Structure 1
Amino acid sequence: MVLVSQTQVREVVENALKRLYLADQQIEFSLIIERPRDEGLGDVAVPCFELAKRLRKSPKIIAEQLREEIVSNYSHIEVSAVAGYLNFFWNKEAFIIQNIPSIDSSYAKNTVLANEKIIVEFSGPNTNKPLHLGHMRNNALGESLSRILRVAGADVFKVNIVNDRGVHICKSMLAYQLFGENKTPETMNIKSDHFVGDFYVKYAQWEKEHPEAEEMIQTMLTAWESGDKDTIDLWKLMNHWAVSGIKETYDRTGISFDKIYYESETYKLGKDIVLRGLEQSVFFKAEDGSLRLNIEEITPAETKSEETPTKVFLRADGTSIYITQDLGTAVARHEDFPFHRMIYVVAHEQKRHFEILFYALKQMGYPWADHLYHLSYGMVNLPDGKMKSREGTVVDADDLLDTLTEQAAIAADSAHRKGESDNTHDVASKVALGALHYFLLQINPVKDMVFDAKESLSFNGNTGPYLQYTYARIAGMLRKSEASELLRMPECDLSLLQDPLEWCLVKILVDFPSYTAKAAMEYSPSIIAGYLYDLAKIFNKFYTDLPILREENKSLALARLTLAKKVMDVLGQGLHLLVIPVVERM
């Protein structure tokens, strides 16, 4: 056998495992296949550490025994056992000829989540303010993850919950009543969600000197819940302003949803579930009249007190709270889209909220409750500290994108990369979005981060613009080649790709589907970001060190040009997965 694919490696190792240890048994686990850190050790490696746990043997011994078994059955396979790893070497010429032609515009696809139905909830804006930098990380994660899950074979349903009711919404409304003077976004020439957000900030300033503010807000909330016409009319008007403005930002940043839920329509959904749970003794009635859930089982010992820990799900007056709404919305979503799993993309500050929500759904007996997942992500801070919406110190998403677009145009000009197209603003806006999304996605979601605008826009190093420039460089080279005789040659001889740099580039290209699969299984777009950066680095060294259009051997030049085109295909797919637009001319 001549090894040219990971599928073959898996088959060879599984057969050896069965012969040595697992005769007549099904292998009910997936072998991990990765690239060795030291390329001198091999082209692909199978670590034996998980096998060691299952077989209760040393990984070093397992690797050595597997190697002997493989060599004795496959004389043409080059394999070594080093420190608990099985390391394989590809047959270079066969590997290149077999794999490079298969790289196309759908090469990212894999089947690790085939036939799975997955809901991804993300964004969750409030209708009292525009989107800010924190929302941008949430949106980028949710959209990117959804795209990654789709190429892994899943049927993905993207949803959003718009928080359009409650005390915080009433604050903007009250401020408009006090200071609005019938102004509109149009009369003030202000983007509509910004217009609403300005009143939220005004309320925060006004309430400091007006102790009656809290009572006025509660009166307004009561009027809203009782259906008071004037209050509802104002609420509808300001919500329309906020939602339409937020949608503009979604459109600008490539974010979309299959269904948008509104809290005003869902906040009562959980009430019947809690009442039914009371009949089933899942919930209980406390002395104060509220309906509660005993959460002692999921409360860490170090946080327990003498009183049994509980969580309110319905107030004594029968009104619901936020977790009650989430309870009902989860059930409604399963009815809308009977999912195999649902992923909530929400900041880590809500970790406890989701622990209790998932526990409540399990106690209610919903079988799908075991397949709910909170994708907890860290906060986005500024170099001088945290953002605060009420004080108007957040980094507004639209303002940030405008600033990045201006700076991208300046950076491109100073780097002598002014666009060939007349539409330089369009190029700059794509670069700005690429800078923002890559910076937000390159880090593992669980980590907090500090956003550095200047660093994000660099055309060198681990940035979105660097990847976009690499794509544009290849596109430019392909445009130049159109007039040359290269593309008129009858066939491309890929066996001419013998240089170590070419071989390195071929191997990383072929790895792409394994990285998209890994990103899907780990819910981490940062895996794609890291892969694309490595690919771009290798390509740019290849481009610098080896002539392509200037290569005298035209057959070799065509092979290298073909390889570059494959890099462009993979880069384009990877950038799409990261919600980054490609740039043809830069």
Structure 2
Amino acid sequence: MLEKVREDWKAVIAAQIGDMAREAGATGPKPADIIVQEPPRPDMGDLAFPLFAYAKLLRSAPPHIAALLKEKIEALPTRPAGELLVSGPYLNVKIDIPTIAAELSSMIAREGTSYGKGSAFDGKRVMVEFSCPNTNKPLHLGHLRNDSLGESVSRILKANGADVRKVNLINNRGVHICKSMLAYQKFGSGETPESTGIKGDKFVGNYYVRFAQWEKEDPSALEQAQEMLRAWEAGEPETLALWERMNAWTLDGLAQTYRKTGIDFDAYYYESNTYKLGKDIILAGLEKGVFQRDSDGSVWMDLSDIKLDRKVLLRSDGTSLYMTQDIGTAVQRHEDWPFDSLIYVVASEQQYHFRVLFHVLEKLGYSWAPTLYHLSYGMVNLPEGKMKSREGTVVDADDLIDNLTALAKEEIISKGRENDVDDINATAASIALGALNYYLLQVTPSKDMIFNPKDSISFNGNTGPYLQYMGARISSMMRKWEDMREDFKDVPFDPSVLILDDERELVRSLAAYPEVVGKAGEGKDPSVLTAYLYDLSRTFSRWYHDNPVLKADSKSLVCARVELSSMVLYVLKNAFYLIGVPFLEKM
């Protein structure tokens, strides 16, 4: 809505500058050439159009151009609603907030949970790969950033019209998997998750750590793991049986964590099912001369045309690498669900890998290879430093969520709100999930970040719980309004009484929400939404603190402020869903 207002004003200003330019024997700008900015202060208007670029064209100083433009536009028989202000070399516009507010009220009432959705990706089939755990350890904090980002981007793209398919690649083969298997075979003594009471993925992960310890004691440990991988690829029954058993333990544990975090997928792919296809594709490429075989039997690709060295695609013993199976998986996915784009949500450490993967697929002649996209995200660490899986120093996802839930419950009790919520445990879990997702998403994906659990769960500041509390406060007010509504049934919504700067700012912000969703989708960046939500909530909080709503001076003002609050509530709910923050009616 706000975008249309800007475009209308750009068209009017371009037309008037064009008229002035023709009088000087020159050609004026197109609407797309007109720059629009936001004034530094509310009293200076809502839109600012700098006129420096037209001084030479019109042979006049920018302040004079601004004054002349104001005069010409005000004389037009029809023009967009709004007040024109000259501010030095700028022509500013104070938009007609009552008109915007009235349109906004009707639109939100009509569209409800669809308000903010766009059409930029209409007709596009977008596959999003994220999570992609190994079956030798549980999910950790790094996976949580991946999951939050993948789920949020999927929802945002869908809100922009895309047909989205969320997929998960289970990395269930390779030497790293064999390390856990070998350690269990050597040190497990037949124990199971059931016999020990340890969640399946953690149980298997303990043996991955145990292998790292054993490897320091026995130099042959790695070679034994590689021999087990060869036995697995050869289909040795005992090895396959152990592999299936330990994979099942891990997958059961991972499923429990996904349920806890609200993550789900439309399809699962397993490396064990796609690596052979990858090998076949590599061998076919070798026959076509796309790849080369080295003297030791390994298969390579020359990457000099993208200014890189060589990349091995099959080892000398014929076993696969990550690259091999990723090639097979990509081809299998396009056969299963022909996509217009495939987004890989994977840490920035793998930038080289995806650059090579995309190049290999292009060289193999797949027409869809240019549509592949690596959504690279930075590392997430703790204040005390980097995590290391093999040393057992990672932050376990389940433990972190349980810790956040406990902190949220303590906060509820410390503020004496335990009787204000319907279910303290469920509420605490929702606060924990909101804290986690918001904190992980508020940083631009490409940047590294430090996750501080105590900071994330705070009810004050730029946090998920702060936003959830804002939604709960408005919900509480709306419940009180329901008891009063009958006395105001004949009072219409009159947006002209919303004259305060904060009220204008709230209306502008609400009208801009669809643009924000569009921008987040275009950049595949949920932090655009988190920044918007914090600004909206902070403005509402300040306004709500300083101005009565249900006890405003007149019935007309009460109704107008209630309607404004209701619109804020709708936008909070809609935006919360896009970033995985549970909405709470009570908190």
Offset, 1:92 = 2.2
Q: What is the rounded CA distance, in whole Å, between the counterparts of 1:209 and 1:66 in structure 2?
A: 84
The 1-side partners of 2:377 and 2:266 are apart by 22
- Asked whether the 8 Å contact 2:573–2:583 carries over to 1, the reply is yes
Deviations 1:142-164 (A, max 9, x none): 00010011101111111111100
Worse overlay, 315-324 or 542-551: 315-324
Aligned to 1:221: 229
TM-score where L is the length of structure 1: 0.89
Query: For residues 304-315 of structure 1, what are the structure 2 equivalents within 5 Å?
Result: 309-315=309-315
Cα separation, partners in 2 of 1:220 and 1:513, compared to 1, 3 Å:
same
Tell me which moved more, 390-399 or 23-32. 23-32
The residue number in structure 2 matching 1:509 is 510
**Take 1:206 and 1:487, find their aligned partners in 2: how far apart are those partners?**
76
Q: Distance in 2 between matches of 1:65 and 1:281?
A: 69
Using the alignment, how far apart are the partners of 1:77 and 1:549 within structure 2? Answer: 30
Offset from partner CA, 1:17-55 (integer Å, 9 cap, x none): 589499999989798876444434432457899x99xx9
Distance 1:223 1:487, change over 3 A: farther
Match status 1:356 vs 2:353: no
Q: Are 1:383 and 2:390 counterparts?
A: no
Matched to 1:500, the amino acid is: D
Q: Residues 379 and 96 (structure 1 numbering): CA distance in 2 closer, same or farther, change over 3 Å? A: same
- The correspondence of residues 209-288 of structure 1 with structure 2, limited to 5 A, is 209-288=217-296
Q: Which runs of 5+ in 1 are unaligned?
A: 301-308
Which residue in the other structure is 2:331 paired with?
A: 331
Structure 2 residue aligned with 1:141: 149
Q: Report percent identity of matched pairs.
A: 48
The reply to whether residue 9 of structure 1 matches residue 10 of structure 2 is no
Amino acid at match of 1:395: V
Question: Helix, strand or coil: the match of 1:373?
Answer: strand
Q: Are the aligned partners of 1:141 and 1:441 in contact in 2 as well (CA < 8 Å)? A: yes
Q: Residue 563 of structure 2 aligns with which residue?
A: 562
CA drift of 1:285 comes to: 2.6
**2:93 partner letter:** F
User: Which runs of 5 or more residues in structure 2 are unaligned?
Assistant: none
Q: Secondary structure of 2:398's partner?
A: helix
- TM value normalised by structure 2: 0.89
SS at match of 2:113: coil
Is the partner of 2:522 in helix, strand or coil? helix
Q: How big is the shift at 1:289?
A: 2.9
Q: Would the alpha carbon gap of residues 6 and 334 (structure 1) be closer, same or farther in structure 2, given more than 3 Å must change?
A: same
- Aligned pairs, number: 570
**1:301-348 Cα distance to aligned partner (Å, 9 max, x none):** xxxxxxxx2111123343332112111211222222222221111101
- Pairwise mapping of residues 366-405 of structure 1 onto structure 2 (< 5 A)? 366-405=366-405
Letter in 1 for 2:107: S
Q: Residues 211 and 466 (structure 1 numbering): CA distance in 2 closer, same or farther, change over 3 Å?
A: same
Q: 1:488-503 alignment to 2 at 5 Å?
A: 488-490=488-490, 491-503=492-504
Contact 2:230/2:319 (CA < 8 Å) preserved in 1?
Answer: no
155-164 or 550-559: bigger deviation: 550-559
- Please give the secondary structure, in 2, of the residue aligned with 1:120: strand
1:462 is displaced (CA, Å) by 0.2
Q: How does 1:115-134 map to 2 (within 5 A)?
A: 115-134=123-142
Structure 2 CA distance for partners of 1:487 and 1:407, relative to 1, 3 Å: farther
- Residues 349 and 487 of structure 1, relative CA distance in 2, 3 Å threshold: farther
Offset of residue 542 of structure 1: 1.3
Maintained 8 Å contact 1:79/1:88: yes
> Contact 1:175/1:200 (CA < 8 Å) preserved in 2?
yes
Q: Deviations over 1:82-102 (max 9, x none)?
A: 799774331122222122331
**Deviation of residue 177 (structure 1)?**
1.5
Give the structure 2 partner of residue 303 of structure 1: none
Decide whether aligned partners of structure 1 residues 276 and 14 sit closer, same or farther in structure 2, where only a CA change above 3 A counts: farther
Letter of the 2:393 counterpart: T
Partner residue in 2 for 1:544:
545
d(CA) in 2 for partners of 1:83, 1:246 = 61
Compared with structure 1, are the counterparts of its residues 31 and 445 closer, same or farther at alpha carbon in structure 2 (3 Å cutoff)? Answer: farther
Q: Is the 8 A contact 1:486 1:554 kept in 2?
A: no
